[in-house]
Chain A
Amino acid sequence: MAQEQAIDALGQFKLTTGLGGLGRVSEFTNSNEMMLLAAVIVVALFVVALRRRALVPGRLQGLAELTYEFVHQMVLDTIGPEGVRFFPFVFTLFAFILLGNVLGLFPYFFAFTSHIAITGALAVFVFLLSTAVGFWYHGIGFLKFFSPPGVPVWLLPLLIPIEVVSYASRPISLSVRLFANMTAGHVMWEVFAGFMLLLVASMGAVGAVASIIPLGLNVALAALEFLVAVLQAYVFAVLTCLYLHDAIHMH
């Protein structure tokens, strides 16, 4: 076993079917399973936590209210008072991505945000929505967004393509950021865990003692990954707010 043992760091991102036989028939993947779980947890948390609306909140209600207030404040600060109408959208996005990231950290759980197809679809949706909001608020005048103010006219043929390309690159950087962060963390975990197996396989008892080092690294990584999971969900939500702000206020 020692010879053919290679570290298969990307095997963990493979799609299989979920939900047993039903999944095999309907091509319901393990990724869909985790998305469903994330959505169910979010809804269940709010249903259970807000069932008794205590004036002095308990732990669960406190958690729900804290999350709500946090996102609400973020929407107010970033978009402004008129952005509150987008609060449900931003909150859904934030909660879904946060649950996806955090659930993906648990062993045997699939991290669906580590697939570019998922983050790409979310980012494209945000992009289309913010563009549509821009045209909804400003009509055809939203196109002025692409010509920066106070620039000589003869520079515009050069600057407008640059602005358009910069604008069109938003969904790519938005999706790649989330996807790369989640994938990199999971790959590092797998690689360090693979080091432990390799050490034990090749050096026996000495290797078992030495594998404390990668184990310690993995423990430290777990803390970092938890931070990254929350931070990336926050960054995705903040950037969504920022794009909506740009669409509503044109800078």
Chain B
Amino acid sequence: MHGDRGSFDQRLKAARRDAGLDDNEAASRATGDNALSLAMQLGAEMVAAVVVAVAIGYGLDKLFHTSPWFMVGFVPIGAAAGVLNLIRATGKMKD
């Protein structure tokens, strides 16, 4: 009984995909509802990477007594990682 239902689900999904039903649904869900939470999410993505980079830089500086050079090196890396996070997050929304 379970096997039947599994294959039915798969056929239903294939049919829906062929009819273009699922795509529309996903697209409207991604763009439609919550602009505020979207903005908050993207902001958090960017800041989080910089926070991590600063923490790594600070820790390495403490470890090797090279203040401030690791921090100086890691902040641009963190900024780049933040942009990378941003691109990944928006790319996932488009799919």
Contacts and interface: CB of A to CB of B under 8 A. Distances in A.
B12 interface: no
B84 A172 contact: no
Interface residues of B, number: 24
A40 interface: no
B29 to A, nearest CB: 10
A133 interface: no
Interface in A43-76: none
B81 A177 contact: no
Contacts of B74: 161, 165
Contact of A169 (B34, B37, B41, B85): B85
Contacts of B52: 165, 168-169, 172
Given A163-B84, A165-B56, A172-B52, 7 more contacts: A161-B74, A165-B74, A166-B49, A166-B84, A166-B88, A169-B85, A172-B44
Contact of B78 (A165, A170, A177): A165
Contacts of A168: 52, 56
B40 interface: yes
Interface in A151-181: 158, 161-163, 165-166, 168-170, 172-173, 176-177, 180-181
Nearest to B51: A172
A164 to B, nearest CB: 8
B80 interface: yes
B53 interface: yes
Interface of A: 158, 161-163, 165-166, 168-170, 172-173, 176-177, 180-181, 184, 227-228, 231-232, 235, 242
Contact of A181 (B37, B77, B80, B92): B37
Contact of A173 (B33, B44, B92): B44
A177 B40 contact: yes
Given A162-B84, A173-B45, A173-B85, A181 B40 contact: yes
Interface string B38-57: 00110011011101110010
Contacts of B49: 165-166, 169
23 contacts: A158-B77, A161-B77, A162-B77, A162-B81, A163-B81, A163-B84, A165-B56, A166-B85, A169-B48, A169-B81, A169-B82, A169-B85, A172-B51, A173-B44, A173-B48, A173-B85, A176-B47, A176-B48, A177-B41, A177-B44, A180-B40, A231-B34, A242-B92
Contacts of B47: 176
Interface in B1-57: 33-34, 37, 40-41, 44-45, 47-49, 51-53, 56
B21 to A, nearest CB: 15
A184 B36 CA distance: 11
A169 B83 CA distance: 12
Nearest to A171: B48
